[in-house]
């Protein structure tokens, strides 16, 4: 039986829950789902420019766990940008 997932501390909230390419209806787009921990990792590291170690402490996870979360977020965001998908931020 796998270990239960620990809750991550998330302080930042997105202003909107969807981002999509302009000129295409949302119903016509594939969707990539970004979780709140992934959103928070991107916000802390890429936007606020803090180290992974410090961001891990703020989210109450280890640096290696944060690194995996960030890698997953970057993969999802790049997939959406390259393939013209909508990004849904799950709350």
**52-59 helix and 63-83 helix, angle to the nearest 10 degrees:** 100
Does the pLDDT of residue 74 top 70, yes or no? Answer: yes
Looking at residue 55, its pLDDT comes to 94
> Structural domain tally of the chain?
1
Q: What is the number of alpha carbons within 13 Å of residue 90 lying toward its C-beta?
A: 8
Mean pLDDT of the 38-57 span: 94
The CATH number covering residue 39 comes to 1.10.10
Please provide the size of the chain in residues. 91
Does the pLDDT of residue 8 top 70, yes or no? Answer: no
Q: How far apart are CA 71 and CA 30, in angstroms?
A: 21
Residue 21 lies in a domain: no
Residue 54 lies in a domain: yes
% pLDDT > 90, the chain = 68
Of the pLDDT bands very low, low, confident and very high (cuts 50, 70, 90), residue 16 is: confident
| Domain interval for residue 70 | 34-89
Q: How far apart are CA 7 and CA 23, in angstroms?
A: 37
Does the pLDDT of residue 29 top 70, yes or no? Answer: yes
């Amino acid at each position: 039986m796998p270990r239960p997932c620990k809750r991550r501390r998330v302080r930042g909230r997105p202003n909107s829950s969807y981002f999509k390419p302009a000129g295409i209806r949302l119903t016509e787009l594939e969707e990539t789902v970004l979780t709140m921990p992934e959103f928070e990792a991107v916000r802390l590291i890429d936007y606020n420019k803090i180290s992974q170690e410090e961001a891990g402490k703020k989210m109450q996870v280890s640096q290696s766990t944060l690194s995996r979360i960030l890698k997953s977020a970057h993969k999802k965001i790049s997939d959406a940008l390259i393939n013209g998908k909508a990004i849904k931020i799950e709350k």
